Amino acid sequence: MEYRKDYFTDARREDLTEVGVTRRRSDVLGHVTGKTQYYADRNFAGLLHLKMVRSPHHHARIKSIDTSKALKVPGVLRVLTAKDVPQNIYTILCLIQVEPNDEPVLAFDKVRYRGEQVAAVLADSEVAARAGAGRVKVVYEELPAVFDVEEALKPGAPLVNEYHGRNYFTYEGHHCRRVRFGNVDEGLAAADHVIEEMYQSSPIEHAPTETTGCIVVPDQNDRYTCYSNTQALYFTLAVGGGFGGKVDVITEPIAFLSAMLTKRPVKYEYTREEEMQVSSPRAAERIYIKDGLSRDGRILARKVRLYVDAGAYSRHSPYGTTKAAAHMPGPYTIPHVSVDCHCVYTNRTPSSAMRGFGVTIGDFALEVQMDKLARLIGMDPMEFRILNAYRDGDMKAHHKQVEGAALIECVKAASDLAHWPLAERCKAMSSEKREA
């Protein structure tokens, strides 16, 4: 990639050796020549294939599981159910002290979304494992399901996740992640214009080139080696594409247990159909934004109510919801702000990370809202953003001081590149100080 030097360096920064300099990735030759080794390229003697029995229901109680016919399929070695998993309930976020544990490795009492893992079939071949999975008989009692975030919060809604006892994640005793700055009711009352809009998104699947998977191999001294395309090990690994979707730890626990119980290497990988159905998508979100605006174009108050659809389990959604709350009200200095961000459980596939999760959909909603506000008062949308942009030293709504903003300079640079005319007063403004 070529960089324009005048946009990244100036006379004061000539000592920099990286900014504005093109560097070749250390792994690029392997990628472009096809020599890079994926986890699935590895072959091990005695490799077992794992295929999962998945729930056909969005919400159902498990009455019984019969594995006898699956064990008669030639090549099937073992079938694992929840009773074989020593610590069956976990949450990924326990690594950063966010609890409670709320997701089983294998479902045992009930299933909470379509495609949930119920039983793992281990066989000498992929064909035998698939045939064995088709012979496992699970008797379900179907339960009412809820798929809408606001419906899930109403009294009497089906309880999705009993480990929370309610259909929302609790933040320090509150039913949502909250941000309070100034007095939003006073700000709205003082406004010349008040506008409220609703924005929403659907779940978005990452569609990586390489589907999620791993191989776990017994090693010496009762140790095991895991070859995985996770990006969670160092938050950098995902050769076949990750984009956040490979940050969850879903395939590895059951693959490890399978290798420990059989003393053989075990491979567990999603088919493309499984990747589309059960890998964590970007969360669906619904956002209500209510703004109070003065005649001269200053936003006086912003009230945000945001719902994040976590699906049936937490995964990274409570963290993403916190990010969403902290990102409000956008890169703008607004004296009165109120934000309620709800992390809601529904009977949909659990959502998780995807490229700036907790921020991306909110940014879309905020910037569309900014365009609507500018049109409302007949102001140029670029000038409107510059007028309301935060400056160094301003206080953000979550009570952190702005440093190194550069937003105004970015808007001016974008306007210049797009040949978008700006008023002289905007050209004179700076992120380093607020004009008198």
pLDDT, one tens digit per residue, over 118-150 is 999 999 999 999 999 999 999 999 999 999 999
Please provide the CATH number assigned to the domain covering 144-204+281-374.
Answer: 3.30.365.10
List the single range of 184-193, 233-242, 421-430 with lowest mean pLDDT.
Answer: 233-242
Please give the mean pLDDT across all residues of the chain.
92
**What is the residue extent of each domain of the chain?**
5-33, 41-143+206-278, 144-204+281-374, 380-436
The helix/strand/coil state of 203 is coil
DSSP 405: -
Strands 117-123 and 137-142: unpaired
Q: What is the structure's pLDDT at 212?
A: 94
Q: What is the structure's pLDDT at 133?
A: 98
CA dihedral 268, 269, 273, 278 (to 10 degrees): 70
Q: What is the structure's pLDDT at 244?
A: 82
Q: What is the pTM of this model?
A: 0.91
Strands 266-269 and 48-54: parallel
| Tokens encoding 192 | 């010349």
Q: What is the structure's pLDDT at 98?
A: 86
Q: Does domain 41-143+206-278 fall into CATH 3.40.50.300?
A: no
- The pLDDT of 105-120, averaged and rounded, is 98
- The pLDDT of 380-397, averaged and rounded, is 96
If one counts every other C-beta atom within 10 angstroms of the C-beta of residue 427, the result is 15
Q: What is the structure's pLDDT at 21?
A: 81
The pLDDT > 70 percentage for the chain reads 95
CA distances to 92, 189, 191, 373 from 296, in Å: 48, 16, 11, 12
CA distances to 231, 235, 386, 422, 426 from 415, in Å: 37, 35, 11, 7, 11
Contact 353, 186 (CB under 8 A): no
| Tokens encoding 148 | 């809408």
Q: Angle 317-327/360-377 helices, nearest 10 degrees?
A: 30
Contact 30, 246 (CB under 8 A): no
DSSP 82: G
- The pLDDT of 416-425, averaged and rounded, is 94
Q: What is the structure's pLDDT at 234?
A: 61
- The pLDDT of 368-388, averaged and rounded, is 97
Strands 285-293 and 224-228: unpaired
Q: What is the structure's pLDDT at 239?
A: 63
pLDDT at 235 over 70: no
pLDDT, one tens digit per residue, over 140-192 is 999 999 999 999 999 999 999 999 999 999 999 999 999 999 999 999 999 99
Helix, strand, coil distribution of the chain in percent, nearest 5 = 25, 25, 45
